[in-house]
A and B are shown apart, each in its own frame.
Chain A
């Protein structure tokens, strides 16, 4: 029974909860048991709510028994990326500098999932302050890919993706600044969506780069992503950059799943050199399936995408250097006092020296430099111009096609340590995902199969014009149906069984 519960999609679990076949307490207990069993090996969670989650579930069960009107995901457990602040729950953003800090307030997306009756299971691991593509930069140790525990689960949101792929949670919240939702989805065989910039409130999301960050769903299928998207999207008066207009239902777009006449543009620049053969193979097979279903596939060019990474690695560090200035030991988090005491500057300095990891320091230094007088125009200024050119590439492409498509990332999951010594090769992992963040447009990644050469999952990415998130759900759902028919079920059914790791987890007492 317990194993059956954890393998249900969020939508299916929601239906069973609604019908009374299962209680939220049972569902939550099943997931907590699964976490206890496998998270010692996966390390997707930095914090698990435990009995408090059971209490929340019991409250939802009581409401249901009392006949309260509840949404489709009420009573469904959810994992929350540690980048989102949660009242009464630790929120570290993967950093030592926030160890032990308990926020006094909930991020708006967290408030919304609570209001939808969902049960927070805990906080998921991530690269420190969302800087990375592997979770190897987490101050609390890496998360392991459930498909191969020696490999990275992607990043920065490797914890959320792995928790979902390992059936520790039916769905999760992630954040995507340059691909931190979509690239982990790609390497873990899961679904991840970066909504239009401004679709989901950033209030309570510990900022990496304010103009690029966006919160979104991490799930095992497209419908679940749509249901969660519908819960978290919408205007928030606490975030000036959140879009005031109302949104159509993403779940309705999933139910449409009709690609006949849909024009899909294949981005020439993201389909060649640097992309693994198996990644490209599955990508083109997916396109063929869609074409057979009535979609029209055309090639488009985005000539400025090749400069996107360079621009991104100026804009992101510039904003991050300012956003991370608040971590100074004065009001919250770690405080390190130099031996024999010191001035406030010395305490701030010692705290930041001890509290930040090397990647964070690298980007703070880079960003500080890029904003400095005399360098601003050459670096930050030029990067903003490139950003405009990337946006124009999208405008030109979307004048001809409804959605764009590319592989989500160049390769399947790499092994731990493989790219730690070479930051630039790590950065190149996000080559296909970064342009969407620079332009503020939405993107989805869903599984397109296993690469024949290594048997690891790969993903396909669709991008749509800003505010046209529904198109992603429509095309994603259509492709998912076609692929699952071919595979005879979800791709994750082919993932290795992690239950053999239970003993290890218990022995290590990892929780």
Chain B
């Protein structure tokens, strides 16, 4: 695909003011789906399932089937609404959004339209540079997810050019909350970073509530980014585009940045922006045109006659409000002090969006320092190389186990990195990888001494130097021993033993 002309980002900001609006879909991790008793694949215990096995007549929209609202999902949605500072509607209603698409079993989606369960909230978002923003929330409403299409044949994996398509209805009916912001002004050059930080904050919130697995690479959390530009000094908002399903936090930032640069180039060239959806391409780092979208899209919404209004009692709302976890900003201050990190160290972790992973890793038994070292070091490096979010790469429990294996001397840092790769490759827990790959440090002095004696014997000049008190010469022997042990030895212990043996053979 031809890459669109882009304007330099700073230049674009000089000429235009970017305005964004973000829609985040959160898949709730309830045990069953939004409107049926089918197991919910957005709950990790059902994540792995063959296509079309997590279904009931309701998920398939079979004739005669009827939806029933999942009470747990309603509670989760209320909690989320409260955490977003929203009002909770004393009565809200489901509506049918009518459109034909093969992934939509009934050819309508049950959603909320004019009466969402939560509305008028705000979220505090802290940027990497320390700037704090208040993002206004318009609404959060409940709805059901669609099934998943796989287009077979054709080169792009998209429907165009495909020979046929397969439909998996496992995802059909997964409970979703869609969080919609009001237009966000004033982000200026920080706008892309703000978009990323907002999504990270939503992720922190849903994870702290425990209502979603929030794994973006699995689609538990999906972001649609609306971007428009208006010339400096103009009151009227520019025409917006909606970039759909941006599925990692770094992509959110890149996609917003890309749209600002693309739209600026078009507008500066005298062109007009087409109101449309756009697809984000991770590989090329570009967006491409989707379908035209107008405000007059006619979904023929009407109140869902199969369902009664959702009328949560005041007691329930109060109970859920009382049970809310601390807000992310408060939590950050607490964690920083508990972990004893410097400003820089803490910012490093927060900016990587890894607070939750770190907290979980510490809870699983690692020291804060070790947890930080692994998450912001090797794991972040591997994630970056694979262009995925670090959080999806490995579980906090496994990181804690890895750190403990290093602490106990079973692994050196170098070996631990190999073990980490094995864990990421799906070979099992760190201990299982150690056992399977035979990566543990050789702690048997006998084996080490044999290797040392051999090395000393083959390097008599070095032995002489050590005896003369030039202990730094031991390095060559240590290197040879480590090589002979294929790295599976603790270098400090080897050094001790080398000096010991050199003295003894004197």
Footprint of B on A, CB under 8 Å? 84-85, 91, 93, 98, 101, 103-105, 107, 202-207, 209-211, 237-241, 318-319, 321-322, 325-328, 330-332, 344-345, 348, 368, 371-373, 376, 380
Q: Contact at A240–B64, with CB atoms within 8 Å?
A: no
> What string of 1s and 0s marks CB contacts (under 8 Å) between B275-308 and chain A?
0000000000000000000001010111001111
Interface centre among B63, B66, B107, B165 (most CB of A within 10 A): B63
Which of A84, A101, A104, A373 is in CB contact (< 8 Å) with B298? A373
Q: Contact at B62–A105, with CB atoms within 8 Å?
A: yes
- B-chain residues with CB within 8 Å of residue A319 when the two chains form the complex: 302, 305
Q: Contact at A330–B167, with CB atoms within 8 Å?
A: yes
Chain B: interface residue total (CB-CB under 8 A) = 30
Interface centre among A210, A319, A330 (most CB of B within 10 A): A330
Task: Report the minimal beta-carbon distance from A237 to chain B, rounded to whole angstroms.
Answer: 7
Q: Contact at A210–B305, with CB atoms within 8 Å?
A: yes
* 27 residue pairs A–B, Cβ–Cβ below 8 Å: A85-B62, A93-B63, A98-B63, A107-B64, A203-B64, A203-B65, A206-B64, A207-B63, A238-B68, A240-B307, A241-B307, A321-B300, A322-B96, A322-B300, A322-B302, A325-B107, A326-B105, A327-B63, A328-B102, A328-B107, A331-B61, A345-B100, A348-B100, A371-B98, A371-B302, A373-B296, A373-B298
List 10 tightest A-B contacts by C-beta distance, closest first: A325-B107, A371-B300, A210-B305, A204-B64, A211-B305, A85-B64, A206-B63, A326-B61, A373-B298, A326-B106
A211-B102 Cα distance, complex, nearest whole Å: 26
Task: Report the minimal beta-carbon distance from B293 to chain A, rounded to whole angstroms.
Answer: 14
Q: Contact at B64–A372, with CB atoms within 8 Å?
A: no
A344-B60 Cα distance, complex, nearest whole Å: 17
Q: A328-B100, A332-B60 are in contact. List 14 more A-B contacts (CB 8 A).
A: A98-B63, A207-B63, A207-B64, A239-B68, A241-B305, A326-B107, A328-B102, A344-B102, A344-B165, A368-B300, A371-B300, A373-B296, A376-B300, A380-B302
- A-chain residues with CB within 8 Å of residue B105 when the two chains form the complex: 326, 331
Task: Report the minimal beta-carbon distance from B447 to chain A, rounded to whole angstroms.
Answer: 65
- B-chain residues with CB within 8 Å of residue A321 when the two chains form the complex: 98, 300
- A-chain residues with CB within 8 Å of residue B69 when the two chains form the complex: 240
Task: Report the minimal beta-carbon distance from A479 to chain B, rounded to whole angstroms.
Answer: 34
Q: Contact at B61–A239, with CB atoms within 8 Å?
A: no
A372-B302 Cα distance, complex, nearest whole Å: 10
- B-chain residues with CB within 8 Å of residue A206 when the two chains form the complex: 63-64
Q: Contact at A322–B64, with CB atoms within 8 Å?
A: no
Cβ < 8 Å to A, chain B residues 102-142? 102, 105-108
- B-chain residues with CB within 8 Å of residue A204 when the two chains form the complex: 64-65
Tell me whether A237 and B57 are in contact in the complex, defined as CB-CB below 8 angstroms, given that A103-B63, A328-B107 are known contacts: no
Which of A238, A240, A376 is in CB contact (< 8 Å) with B302? A376
Task: Report the minimal beta-carbon distance from A405 to chain B, rounded to whole angstroms.
Answer: 29
Task: Report the minimal beta-carbon distance from A146 to chain B, rounded to whole angstroms.
Answer: 29
- B-chain residues with CB within 8 Å of residue A240 when the two chains form the complex: 66-69, 306-308
Interface centre among B64, B96, B100, B105 (most CB of A within 10 A): B64
Task: Report the minimal beta-carbon distance from A120 to chain B, rounded to whole angstroms.
Answer: 16
> What string of 1s and 0s marks CB contacts (under 8 Å) between B70-110 and chain A?
00000000000000000000000000101010100111100
Q: Contact at A105–B305, with CB atoms within 8 Å?
A: no
Task: Report the minimal beta-carbon distance from B353 to chain A, rounded to whole angstroms.
Answer: 38
Q: Contact at B107–A237, with CB atoms within 8 Å?
A: no
Q: Contact at A332–B62, with CB atoms within 8 Å?
A: yes
- B-chain residues with CB within 8 Å of residue A326 when the two chains form the complex: 61, 63, 105-107
> What string of 1s and 0s marks CB contacts (under 8 Å) between B452-465 and chain A?
00000000000000
Q: Contact at B102–A330, with CB atoms within 8 Å?
A: yes
- B-chain residues with CB within 8 Å of residue A330 when the two chains form the complex: 102, 167
Tell me whether A104 and B57 are in contact in the complex, defined as CB-CB below 8 angstroms, given that A325-B108, A373-B298 are known contacts: yes
Which of A209, A239, A345, A371 is in CB contact (< 8 Å) with B66? A239
> What string of 1s and 0s marks CB contacts (under 8 Å) between B38-65 and chain A?
0000000000000000000100111111
Q: Which residue of B lies closest to A324 (CB)?
A: B107
- B-chain residues with CB within 8 Å of residue A345 when the two chains form the complex: 100
- B-chain residues with CB within 8 Å of residue A373 when the two chains form the complex: 296, 298, 300
Q: Contact at A372–B63, with CB atoms within 8 Å?
A: no
A30-B398 Cα distance, complex, nearest whole Å: 71
Which of A239, A322, A376 is in CB contact (< 8 Å) with B108? A322
A105-B167 Cα distance, complex, nearest whole Å: 22
- B-chain residues with CB within 8 Å of residue A85 when the two chains form the complex: 62-64
- B-chain residues with CB within 8 Å of residue A239 when the two chains form the complex: 66, 68
Tell me whether A332 and B57 are in contact in the complex, defined as CB-CB below 8 angstroms, given that A325-B100, A371-B302, A373-B298 are known contacts: no
- B-chain residues with CB within 8 Å of residue A210 when the two chains form the complex: 305-306
Which of A207, A241, A328, A368 is in CB contact (< 8 Å) with B308? A241
Interface centre among B100, B106, B108 (most CB of A within 10 A): B100
- B-chain residues with CB within 8 Å of residue A238 when the two chains form the complex: 66, 68
- A-chain residues with CB within 8 Å of residue B60 when the two chains form the complex: 331-332
Interface centre among B61, B67, B98, B306 (most CB of A within 10 A): B306
- B-chain residues with CB within 8 Å of residue A207 when the two chains form the complex: 63-64, 306
A330-B147 Cα distance, complex, nearest whole Å: 12
A163-B63 Cα distance, complex, nearest whole Å: 24
Task: Report the minimal beta-carbon distance from A213 to chain B, rounded to whole angstroms.
Answer: 9
Q: Which residue of B lies closest to A203 (CB)?
A: B66
A203-B36 Cα distance, complex, nearest whole Å: 13
Q: Which residue of A lies closest to B295 (CB)?
A: A373
Task: Report the minimal beta-carbon distance from A195 to chain B, rounded to whole angstroms.
Answer: 17
Task: Report the minimal beta-carbon distance from A482 to chain B, rounded to whole angstroms.
Answer: 40
A206-B69 Cα distance, complex, nearest whole Å: 20
A205-B66 Cα distance, complex, nearest whole Å: 9
Task: Report the minimal beta-carbon distance from B170 to chain A, rounded to whole angstroms.
Answer: 14
Task: Report the minimal beta-carbon distance from B109 to chain A, rounded to whole angstroms.
Answer: 11
Q: Contact at A84–B308, with CB atoms within 8 Å?
A: no
Q: Contact at B300–A372, with CB atoms within 8 Å?
A: yes
A205-B306 Cα distance, complex, nearest whole Å: 12
- A-chain residues with CB within 8 Å of residue B106 when the two chains form the complex: 325-326
A240-B67 Cα distance, complex, nearest whole Å: 8
A413-B63 Cα distance, complex, nearest whole Å: 31
- A-chain residues with CB within 8 Å of residue B61 when the two chains form the complex: 326, 331
A326-B64 Cα distance, complex, nearest whole Å: 11
A237-B67 Cα distance, complex, nearest whole Å: 10
Q: Which residue of B lies closest to A110 (CB)?
A: B64
Q: Contact at B302–A237, with CB atoms within 8 Å?
A: no
- A-chain residues with CB within 8 Å of residue B307 when the two chains form the complex: 240-241
- A-chain residues with CB within 8 Å of residue B301 when the two chains form the complex: 371
Task: Report the minimal beta-carbon distance from A391 to chain B, rounded to whole angstroms.
Answer: 15
- A-chain residues with CB within 8 Å of residue B63 when the two chains form the complex: 85, 91, 93, 98, 101, 103, 206-207, 326-327, 332
- B-chain residues with CB within 8 Å of residue A332 when the two chains form the complex: 60, 62-63
A239-B102 Cα distance, complex, nearest whole Å: 25
- A-chain residues with CB within 8 Å of residue B67 when the two chains form the complex: 240
A248-B172 Cα distance, complex, nearest whole Å: 40
A321-B96 Cα distance, complex, nearest whole Å: 12
- B-chain residues with CB within 8 Å of residue A241 when the two chains form the complex: 305-308
A84-B65 Cα distance, complex, nearest whole Å: 11
- A-chain residues with CB within 8 Å of residue B302 when the two chains form the complex: 318-319, 322, 371, 376, 380
- A-chain residues with CB within 8 Å of residue B65 when the two chains form the complex: 203-204
Task: Report the minimal beta-carbon distance from A113 to chain B, rounded to whole angstroms.
Answer: 15
A107-B57 Cα distance, complex, nearest whole Å: 11
Q: Which residue of B lies closest to A97 (CB)?
A: B63
- B-chain residues with CB within 8 Å of residue A344 when the two chains form the complex: 102, 165
A101-B167 Cα distance, complex, nearest whole Å: 20
Task: Report the minimal beta-carbon distance from A212 to chain B, rounded to whole angstroms.
Answer: 9
Task: Report the minimal beta-carbon distance from A287 to chain B, rounded to whole angstroms.
Answer: 36
A380-B300 Cα distance, complex, nearest whole Å: 11
- B-chain residues with CB within 8 Å of residue A205 when the two chains form the complex: 64
Q: Contact at A202–B66, with CB atoms within 8 Å?
A: yes
A241-B302 Cα distance, complex, nearest whole Å: 17
Which of A103, A325, A376 is in CB contact (< 8 Å) with B62? A103
- A-chain residues with CB within 8 Å of residue B298 when the two chains form the complex: 372-373
A237-B32 Cα distance, complex, nearest whole Å: 15
- B-chain residues with CB within 8 Å of residue A376 when the two chains form the complex: 300, 302
